[in-house]
Structure formats: structure tokens, C-alpha cells
Structure 1
Amino acid sequence: MHVLIPSAGAGSRLPGDAPKQYRRVAGAPIVAHAVSAFLACPRVTDITVVVQPGDVLAHAVLPAHPRLRVAEAGGVTRAQTVIQGLQWLRARGVDAKEWALVHDAARCCVTPDAIERLMDACEHDTVGGLLAVPLADTLKRAALGSIGRARHVATTVPREGLWLAQTPQMFRIGTLLQALERSDLAQITDEASAVEQMGLSPLLVAGSSSNFKVTYAEDLLLAEAILLARSAPAPTECKHG
């Protein structure tokens, strides 16, 4: 099981003095929390964090570990970064039939249990799959031509059968690379959408709402609260007598 974490973006929707994957949350950079979750999974052979050439922050903030590597092979877009990361793995002898788990660097609250659940579900599947959660909220489509920041509802979209895609997403390296290289990357929003364009149906594996992608400033506060709560010591039981 090979993990690929594209970490070459600038995170423009979360202003700051560093790309969002390097912002500190609960005592560590966002990407470091994601890496730690995968390092806690014994079946993970290696983890490759794909960054832009010349990125010195990744080397500075990530832990030294024999299963962790930094590849300066990032592209202009996330999809290009994933393609170049997969090519980087293939150039180093990784077989096309092996599994790759692609995970967003900004999903710092993923847990080892969720990763293991995805691997269990997909390991013997013919296609692979992704973590996702059923849509719980009412979904509205905005009317076209809305002016300024105001938006009006055009219709309510039935939520039955709708899921929110998360990561990691797990596919055979050769299948995913072929899917991405054949796709119109402007239409690709995640790895599964590229695989779907090949006529394949990825498996949906139940994830958790806590596995969200840090995108806006308020997400930093929520991620910090979740991570700190997990690291807090369990309350001791009081004994009377």
C-alpha cells in the first residue's frame, strides 16, 4: 500500500504567511497530522508527500521516518501533481498493479481507523474506492445570473443517494495513472471522477464528518478542537469507599 499526498498547492482561500498545509494546528503543521495517521497503519509501505520543486518547508516540518519521502514533483494543478507523483513512484520501481491511496494534505483529521477501513473494503475490490459520507443537509442549487454576493435558490436538489467525497481514495497505480492521463483535467475534481470516466464504479466506504478539508479560517479552529480532543488523556475513574 503506497500513500501519495499532493501538497503542492498554495491554499489561496486561506490567506496567511504559508500555504495552508504548513499552517500549525494543535502543535503541528496540517500535513504532518495527515502523515502521522498513515504512519500509524502497519500495512502502509511508504508515504510520498509531493511538493513543488524547491519547497524547503516540507523537509523542515515533516518528521524523519524510513517510510516517509518527499518528492519535489508537484504540478500546476492538483491533478497534475497526482499524475507526476504516480510517475515518480513508477520511476522508482513501484509496480503498476500495486495500490495507491491518494490523500488531501489539508485533511488533517483523518484517523488510522478510517484508513484501515478503506483498505479492508477495497483490497479485494476490482476497482478500488474512496471514503465518503452520505449527504445529510438539504442541498440547494443557486439561480444562474445572480448579481453580486446575493444568491437566490433555483431549486432544491434531492439528496437521496448523494455522498460527499473525501480522501483517501484508493486505486491501482496503473489504473489511476491511465485514468488521469486520458481525462480532461479541467473536469477532474478528484481521483474517483477520473476513474469513473473510464466506465468504472468506485466503492463508497463510509467515512466521518470529522475528515473534512481545511479550506477557510474557521476550519482551523474546528480542526484544532478535534485534534486536541483526541490527544487529551482519558478521564480517570473515581473510586469511592
Structure 2
Amino acid sequence: MSEAASPGLTAVVPAAGIGSRMGASCPKQYLPLAGKTILEHTLDALLSHSAIAQVIVALAPHDTWFETLSVARDPRILRVQGGAERAYSVLNALHVTTGPWVLVHDAARPCLTHGDLDELIAAAMASGGAILGSRVRDTMKRTDGAGNIVATVDRDGLWHALTPQMFPTGTLKRALEEGLALGALITDEASAMERAGFTVKMVEGRADNIKVTRPEDLSLAELFLQQQSARQQARPD
């Protein structure tokens, strides 16, 4: 699907986490990366795509960093209060969403490309819901509580779940509400939809759509952003 043919969409970015594994003095989404914060790169990737009309950012109640970013003044951005868990942050955003479709993207995935967005939007609208993912390439092991290997897992058909994840707004809202009410483990939007009995389409995305989780991920994300910028500049007008 080309950007010109895509409808106006709402993107939700849960950004209320603290990212304790980074060991930083601020939430990881506000760490510097290639001249901006991680969150600014993430929001830029979404706002620069013509299919996306609005971005709802779910922030922690004590967040004092977001308002200092220039992107915070973009009229297409709406802020809501985040929750203690990702699912509550997304649900708070869905309560103020009026569009029929929503896509949810991690705040700490700054390397999203428009090509992946195009593929996701087309697949979601054709199938009723889809997520980006990358195939598992390494040998998979299962361990016990003591860290001992108990089995080698067949990686055939296994995927790493990425974001964005795109679904009809009302359907996702109900799936999250029902799952949370029953105390179900909801690790991403797809898990709520799966639990509610819906089939979710997997769309193979780029492997450089990484989530910045540990300090070493910062240099890797910067390299990917530089490579993406170089490819963009090398394209003929």
C-alpha cells in the first residue's frame, strides 16, 4: 500500500516505562541518540508517514522530560496518562481514540522504516489485524529455574514479535479490557487479541527495527539510523 493511498491512522506510543536495565538517570526513551532522544526518533518515524494523522503518547504521571522536547508541540500529538503496565497505558490511549484503526509502537524502537509501515498497514487492513515480526534465526533453548538447559526448541515457525501492531480500535479495546479484568498475562497487543480468539497476521519486518533495552543497543541503533539515512539520501529524486 502506498502512503498516498493510506487512510488517516492513530498511532499509540506507550512511554510510561523507566527502562531500569539501561541503568540511566532518566527513562531510556529520553536518552540521547544521534542528535535527538530515542523517543524523538520514534515519533519522527511515525509522524513523517502520511498515513498517520495522530500520535497518542502515554506518559508517566511524574514525567518532566517530554514537555522539553520540540516534538511535544506538534499539534498531531495528544498526551494521556500511562499506567503501571503497558496494557493500561494502551487502554488509556484507546479511550480517547476516535479512529477505526490503531497501531501501537514501542517508544524505544527508533529505527522503524516507512517500508515496514506500508507492509503492516496493508496486511492489517486485508486480514483484520497484523504485527511486524522477525524470524528466529538462532538455536532456541529452554532452561529450568536454575539456568540448566532442559530442551532444544524447534525454531521453525518461531518469530520475535516487533511493533507496530495494528488492529481495529474497538476490537483491541475490548480484548484488552477483558484480558485485564481476568488477570491475564498481556505482553503485547497481539497476545490480548489472540486470547480473545482473533487470528493475527504476522508480517516479516526489518531486523534493524530493534528495541533499545540495554546500553549496548544504543550504538547499534545509531548505526542503523545512519545506514537508513544514507540509503534515503542515495535514492534518486
TM-score, reference length from structure 1: 0.87
Query: C-alpha displacement at 1:39, in angstroms?
Result: 1.3
Distance 1:81 1:120 in 2: 26
Q: In the alignment, what sits opposite 1:85?
A: 93
Task: Report the Cα offset of residue 176 of structure 1.
Answer: 0.6
Whole-angstrom CA distance in 2 between matches of 1:190 and 1:103: 10
Aligned-partner Cα distance in 1 for 2:47–2:192: 27
TM-aligned CA deviation for residue 182 of structure 1: 0.6
CA gap of 1:145–1:35, structure 2 versus 1, over 3 A, is: closer
Distance 2:77 2:54 in 1: 6
Q: Which runs of 5+ in 2 are unaligned?
A: 1-8
Partner SS, residue 45 of structure 1: strand
Cα RMSD of the aligned pairs, angstroms, is: 1.7
> Which amino acid is the alignment partner of residue 54 of structure 2?
D
Q: Which residue of 1 aligns with 2:109?
A: 107
Show structure 1 runs of 5+ residues with no match: 236-241
* Cα offsets for 1:42-68 (capped at 9, x unmatched): 111111111022422112124132322
Q: Which residue among 101, 117, 120 is the counterpart of 1:118?
A: 120
Percent identity at matched positions?
40
* Distance across 2 between alignment mates of 1:113 and 1:7: 24
The answer to whether the 8 A contact 2:30-2:37 is kept is yes
Corresponding residue number in structure 2 for 1:228: 226
> Could you report, residue by residue, the CA deviation over 1:184-211 in whole angstroms, capped at 9, with x for unpaired residues?
4551110000000111111111111111
Q: 1 CA distance for matches of 2:45 and 2:86?
A: 21
**2 CA distance for matches of 1:145 and 1:10?**
26
More helix by share: 2
